[in-house]
Structure 1
Amino acid sequence: DWVPAHFPKDEFSLGRFDGTALFEHADPRQGDHPEWGTYIFNYGRAEVRNFLTASALYWLGEFHADGLRVDAVASMIYLDYARREGEWIPNAFGGRENLDAISFIKKLNQDVYRLNPGIMMIAEESTAWTGVSRPVFMGGLGFGFKWDMGWMHDTLEYFTLDPIYRRYHHRDLTFGLLYAWSENFVLPLSHDEVVHGKRAMLAKMPGDRWRQFANQRALFAYMWARSGKKLIFMGQEIGQWREWDHDSSLDWNLLDYPDHRELQVLVRDLNRIYRDEPALWEADTEPAGFRWLDADDADSNMIAFMRVAPSTSRRIVCVCNFSPVLRHRFRIGVPGPGFYREILNTDSAAYGGSNVGNMGGVQAAAIPWRGFSHSIAIEMPPLAVIWFSVP
């Protein structure tokens, strides 16, 4: 987590380093950050730009970090970020864009990718700025990825609800697919969501202990199948109950309990299948890699979609039941005939579920359903996600 957007006003830090505004702007309308009580770097000074670039290259080159998540990019690129009228200075063209910061970001990304091939530069950018993860030569900011903050907010809003109310928030599951391919997105369940009284991920889930774990398993399997790269925060894979605390270790002792071990096994299996199935990642950033099978069944808290690997036509069907109701012979439209093999079921007893499934898979029937020529009738366990490998 690399933070070139602002820095503390501590006396021992960079603030007023030589008694003057050396690293920051002297004018508080440009140099003070009203939201965080910090200083803002003067991106127009070559010395400051070199200092920040050297910092990034140090972590990547000397410590061999795989990448940097660049914090609060929106606060860098907008001069009026968190400011009221009269509290900011327009750029030379009268606009609100911070031209010096934008120039710095573009040059930074070009330099770090050139000198460290294979690393990741990930923007935490919360606005609709166009081209955050597009190359500089195409007019973009040059990041490799952008956090999908909207997906994170909408998904957690949905999953923290009691299932009886989820039908009224179905749009939280589907809206993100309207813009999913406008950037190279990362789907984050990050540190921001498990500190400062927001509760650990498992503790956010509604219901009794069994339902909390079932919801968490379903969320992970849905997340792994959806378009976008995946990021969870440490401790989520073992179901940590308490908020993350930088002064103590993770609660590894939780693995003494079966349901925590079983959640860890699920995450391991999700990663294994994800690695082995190109349909889940090959076309993450293009519409050809995703197809809705059923996006509208709000009353049942159900969605179904298919992931596709264009190079091989390999396909994975993902069916999600976010209600606590067991659904017998639930029908889903599918693109063709054949045996749909069940390759993952979050309700498996191996993961702590109730072990409702489809005995290895189902045969598609020539029964048209919701615009598809064939369909499958499946046993759909409560609060669960099933993946099928498509012939």
Structure 2
Amino acid sequence: MPSQPTEHVTVSAQRSAPDKVALPELSDDLLGAVASGTHHDPHSVLGSHPVAAEGVSDALTVIRTRRPLATRVAAILDSGARVELTHVHSGIWQGAHVTGHQPYRIEASYDGGPDWIADDAYAFAPTIGELDLHLIGEGRHERLWDVLGAHHRTLGTADRAVHGTSFTVWAPHASAARVVGTFNDWSGEAHSMRSMGGSGVWELFVPDVEPGAMYKFQLRGRDGEWVTKADPLARHAETAGLTASIVTESHYTWNDDEWMTARAASNPHDGPMSVYELHAGSWRLGLGYRELADHLIDYVTELGFTHVEFMPLAEHPFGGSWGYQVTGYYAPTSRFGNPDDLRYLIDRLHQAGIGVLMDWVPGHFATDAWALARFDGEALYEHPDPRRGEHKDWGTLIFDFGNPQVRNFLVANALYWLEEFHVDGLRVDAVASMLYLDYSREPGEWLPNIHGGNENLEAISLLQEANATAYRRNPGVVMIAEESTNWGGVTAPTNGGGLGFGFKWNMGWMHDSLQYIANDPMWRSYHHGEITFSFLYAYSENFLLPISHDEVVHGKGSLLGKMPGDHWQKLANLRAYLTFMWSHPGKQLLFMGQEFGQLSEWSESRDLDWWILDQPAHRGLHSLVTQLNRVYTENPALWALDNSPAGFEWLDGGDSTHNIVSFLRRDGNGDEIAVFMNFSGATVGPYRAGLPQAGIWDEILNSDAGDFGGSGVGNLGSVTARDEPWAGRPASADITLPPLAGLWLKRRR
């Protein structure tokens, strides 16, 4: 029961009965504000309150409730006593009793209708505690989703439980707040919320509201205007096109204990990681989260990828944004099912030994009027200055990264996906747009920082906090930056001034290598630096090599379409390119469809070109990717020292005449793999190559093999290196290098 200030009234000693006591008089203005739902603290009037009356020997309690249009109202105490209430003003009724402060229900009678009995929303104490409010005030509540939003709860007493939902929202600029939904016909006067003081939080427990109920918040701005908003902390939302939040609670039982235990004991930065990026809605049209589990797991397991990466799954209104313009940061999109359905998908992936990454978009958000934009009548989540708060290129708003509560909203959101959905890592979108105040802005369109520079100091601090907190609370996860500039220290520790990410997308490698491979082989010798330059900075950060959705949209065509030559040559070039990618230092990511040579540019509105797998040449490319993943994961030399120069050594990086690059990959435990890439259109051989040791070197992968759709040129399974020095190496071998192909040789031990 709530602990309310005692109301005071003076009466004579003879007037001790409740019906003879003059109850405190409340002004019509106060009662009118409470009745209309515009008062900041309706619980100070409504509900149950002790009354201190001079000369009255028994403890007196006044009960007030709002029941407009009722003809008779009574409070039914849990003791069974009945307290008749009298109409006071604007649908507010009151009465008093001397039986002590105790739970009650309200009975109301209406003309032409049955009596209506229900628990009163104003009979309950706040469901958010002082410690929670303190942490919110400091911007340090790491499980914010546990206290804000809608939560189905059981309150009441041991003798009589009361089921309902607590609604809690942060709206510091609001002068009043109400909750509306299917439980009150979307009229909020009966469910005005109480202000929890300087925290800016508003709260109300509404009895009998069960999971599945839809709701929104009505917020009265300081200008007196009302706005109706979806819940920023909603954990479930209506399907795109509709905008209400949905009360939800999880009943899911996880079955991935083995995976989670192993994850906590692992270091993903030093392990194998080949990522299959996909858009859940168009991988196969019409599949929900649960159906995806069956189809996707079989497919990814066959291909051998270690992880899948989902493009954003947080709720977003426009499918064409692919999830990068978010309205519901804590709500998995309802397009594919409910939150427990997503838990099921991730659980199944883990049980199959597949890690799960997800795109996260903390840099900007959608402008829809029913969501975060001008949330409580003015700028709140977005920076109020358009020079920092608007992203004109994308038509979005930019978070106010310096606001402690906004930072808390974002940091807790990262933790929410890692902890509530067991996601193994987040790929943070558009980090460059967060780091620079002048990102995509002309002179005069941006506001310098306090030092006069273009660095967004508040955004930097947010990223550092999010990364450090994620790693501290969830050992074994990975935070990945999509960062396209030469910002230093993206993957350096935060305690040394770095941003604290685990990996950075190597956008330079992507740009240069695609530019190189697009050239006809006869001209590649003039562009040799484009294929070798990435090795100069390969260890300046912990890199992931991305061929993502961004490379196959907006008129860029498909990955196969970027390759030169006729169809056979295009496929051969693509096989060589992927072989180079898998052997290059760093982890790798490939967007869906490229594993079988999708012909058309990707569109979120249609299926992938699955039919093309019926063509042997494209099935061969699919087989190559499968083999790349198998050989990659089985050989630590290709990943154990990804982030150390000790894992790489050139054999020959300067053979531009033949369009050949060759190098060694090592694991630090004696295993070595020699990589030979022949980007020319002709077979080269015998090709004399220096090697670190004599002996038999097995041909563990040849992208030109007939099984992959190649010409079948090779070395009969192995080559023998002799103790004959060559090119500064103590041993050498004569090797046949297939055209437009990659060759991996592993020294037999």
TM range (shorter): over 0.9
Query: 734, 739, 749: which one pairs with 1:377?
Result: 734
- Matched to 2:623, the amino acid is V
Alignment coverage as a number of residue pairs: 390
Q: Distance in 2 between matches of 1:152 and 1:66?
A: 24
Aligned partner of residue 303 in structure 1, secondary structure:
strand
- Larger radius of gyration between Structure 1 and Structure 2: 2
Quote the Cα distance in structure 2 between the aligned partners of 1:387 and 1:78: 41
Deviation, structure 1 residue 37: 2.8
Larger proportion of strand: 2
Structure 2 counterpart of 1:139, from 492, 497, 500: 497
Provide Cα deviations, 1:171-225, integer angstroms capped at 9, x if missing partner: 0111111111011100000111011110111111111111111111111111111
Counterpart of 1:72 (choices 430, 439, 442) is: 430
2:465 paired with 1:107: yes
* Displacement after TM superposition at 1:147 (Å): 0.3
The structure showing larger relative contact order (alpha-carbon pairs under 8 Å, at least 6 residues apart) is: 1
In 2, Cα distance between equivalents of 1:345 and 1:368:
25
* SS of corresponding position for 2:595: helix
Q: Distance in 2 between matches of 1:314 and 1:45?
A: 51
CA distance in 2, matches of 1:351, 1:190: 23
What's the counterpart of residue 334 of structure 1?
691
**Cα deviation per residue 1:324-377 (whole Å; 9 max; x = unaligned)?**
111120111111211111111111111111111111111113333222222211
Aligned-pair distance for 1:170?
0.6
- In the TM superposition, residue 122 of structure 1 has moved relative to its aligned partner by 0.5
- The one of 366, 370, 373 equivalent to 1:8 is 366
Report the CA distance between 1:234 and its aligned residue. 1.0
- String of CA shifts for 1:16-36, please: whole Å, max 9, x gaps: 222311111121111112332
Q: Map 1:124-163 onto structure 2 (within 5 A).
A: 124-163=482-521
**Unmatched 5+ residue regions in structure 1?**
none
What does 1:218-257 correspond to in 2, within 5 Å? 218-257=576-615
Residues in 2 aligned to 1:280 and 1:51: alpha-carbon distance in whole angstroms: 39
Cross-structure match for 2:558: 200
Please state if 1:49 is matched with 2:407: yes
Q: Which residue in 1 is equivalent to 2:178? A: none
**Aligned residues with identical type, % of pairs:** 56
Q: Which amino acid aligns with 1:357?
A: G
Mean Cα deviation higher: 350-359 or 130-139: 130-139
Distance across 2 between alignment mates of 1:55 and 1:260: 41
Is residue 180 from structure 1 mapped to residue 521 from structure 2 by the alignment? no
Distance 1:276 1:17 in 2: 51
- Does residue 1:343 correspond to 2:726, yes or no? no
Paired residue for 1:86? 444
Question: Among 356, 359, 362, which residue is 2:713 paired with?
Answer: 356
Aligned to 1:390: 747
Residue type matched to 2:681 in 1?
Answer: P
Displacement after TM superposition at 1:41 (Å): 0.6
Normalised by the length of structure 1, the TM-score is 0.97
Distance 1:152 1:19 in 2: 44
Letter aligned with residue 368 of structure 1: P
Pick the aligned partner of 2:454 from 88, 96, 103: 96
Q: What's the secondary structure of 1:22's corresponding residue?
A: coil
Whichever residue aligns with residue 735 of structure 2, its letter is I
**Could you tell which deviates more after superposition, 17-26 or 284-293?**
17-26
Separation (CA, whole Å) in 1 of partners of 2:507 and 2:593: 20
Higher helix residue share: 1
Q: How does 1:268-347 map to 2 (within 5 A)?
A: 268-310=626-668, 312-347=669-704
Q: Distance in 2 between matches of 1:251 and 1:9?
A: 34
* Secondary structure of the corresponding residue to residue 371 of structure 1: coil
The 1-side partners of 2:529 and 2:556 are apart by 23
Aligned positions of 1:258-273 closer than 5 A: 258-273=616-631
For residue 211 of structure 1, give the secondary structure of its aligned residue in structure 2.
helix
The alpha carbon displacement at 1:87 in A equals: 2.1
The CA deviation string for residues 107-143 of structure 1, in whole angstroms up to 9 with x for no partner, is: 1111222222222210011111111112212221111
How far residue 378 of structure 1 moved from its aligned partner, in angstroms, is: 1.0
Q: Work out the CA distance in 1 between the residues paired with 2:618 and 2:417.
A: 34
| C-alpha distance after superposition, 1:266-308 (max 9, x if no partner) | 1111111111111100110111100000101112111000001
Counterpart AA for 2:476: G
Distance 2:424 2:564 in 1: 35
Residue 118 of structure 1 corresponds to 476
* 3-state DSSP of counterpart to 1:342: strand
Amino acid at match of 2:713: V
Under a length normalisation based on structure 2, what TM-score does the superposition of the two structures give? 0.51
- Which whole-Å deviations, capped at 9, do the CAs of 1:36-93 have from their partners, x for residues lacking one? 2321110011121121123222222222222111111111111121222222222222
Is 31-40 or 158-167 further displaced after alignment? 31-40
Output the CA distance in 2 between the equivalents of 1:57 and 1:245: 31
Equivalences for 1:29-44 in 2 at 5 Å? 29-44=387-402
The 3-state SS of whatever aligns with 2:406 is: helix
Between the aligned partners of 2:443 and 2:616, the Cα distance in structure 1 is 56
Which residue type is aligned with residue 108 of structure 1?
A
Q: Distance in 2 between the 1:249 and 1:47 partners?
A: 41
**Could you tell me how far apart the structure 1 residues matched to 2:506 and 2:658 are?**
26
> For 2:585 and 2:652, how far apart are their aligned partners in 1?
16
SS of the equivalent of 1:101 reads helix
Aligned AA (1:138): G
Of stretches 8-17 and 271-280 in structure 1, the one that deviates more from structure 2 is 8-17
Cα distance in 1 for partners of 2:423, 2:692 equals 43
TM-superposed CA distance for 1:10, in Å, is 2.5
- Taking the aligned partners of 2:461 and 2:684, their CA distance within structure 1 comes to 55
The amino acid across from 2:564 in the alignment is P
Task: Name the SS of the counterpart of 2:701 in structure 1.
Answer: strand
SS in 2 for 1:363: strand
What is the letter of the counterpart of residue 105 of structure 1? L
Kindly indicate whether residue 420 of structure 2 is the aligned counterpart of residue 62 of structure 1.
yes
Alpha-carbon distance in structure 1 between the residues aligned to 2:522 and 2:658: 10
